[in-house]
Structure 1
């Protein structure tokens, strides 16, 4: 288990990452965290009852350059339930880079079902162990259009101030 301290402008979130079930995904997230990549990024997509997504855009909503995508590990037995953290991706199942989302509701429809682009799912790689009240606060914020996004941007922006690994077993 890897423990992560995420400081945001809305409060602190502590995550427990499951390196046994999602080793590539956890290693990828830890590398971005250790590089300081997430510092100063924002939660740019917030949908109450669904999820809060961040980790890829600056406070000006410019997209950050990332490393190459990683292999999807959604077929790991972990589920997109409330409080779990998963990798965001495009329609390509193996396109996840740095962006992640924290599930605000139970989203089993995002779980692995088959090795097709539609059924591949989104890799869950950990869960919130402290600060779900902060996730709720972010998810309940008013949203609107801003920068390149037509909707779902929290008003005001929620900044990810820092992401630090605080324990690794």
Structure 2
């Protein structure tokens, strides 16, 4: 009987601790978003991608956009375009996504999530970064290029970059010192 009571108490404490961690994580993310809002208002700055950095270089910066969920864009060939993608985000995040979109189109960059994670993390003008999972990056790139080329790309088209694929390798090489 004592063991069962101990197990129940342990489970109750564990559930309570998990709930507190979830609440703290949500509060931290809300405070980060509020901080980004204040910074943008303070400097009245237009957000641009100032450079692309490696995964290791990106570690010191705050994440302003990105995420781990993805894989929904044109999964069933629905004909999604940029407007369908961008409307799923908060207004504060849209500024960063639009900056990525502009940089990607201006430089004709087509690359997958693995390249994003290893070599091509966008560093923005407010010294924050965009960090995405492979699928989330695939959705972003599919949304950009589906609109730009009027094709039905999906997340899987940009999940990974294969050697010699697209023009990204020349772009990366041009940025190395």
- In the superposition, the TM-score normalised over structure 2's length comes to 0.23
The structure with the largest helix share of the pair is 2
Q: Which of the two has higher C-alpha Rg? A: 2
The structure with the largest strand share of the pair is 1
- In the superposition, the TM-score normalised over structure 1's length comes to 0.24
Higher relative contact order (CA 8 A, sep 6+): 1
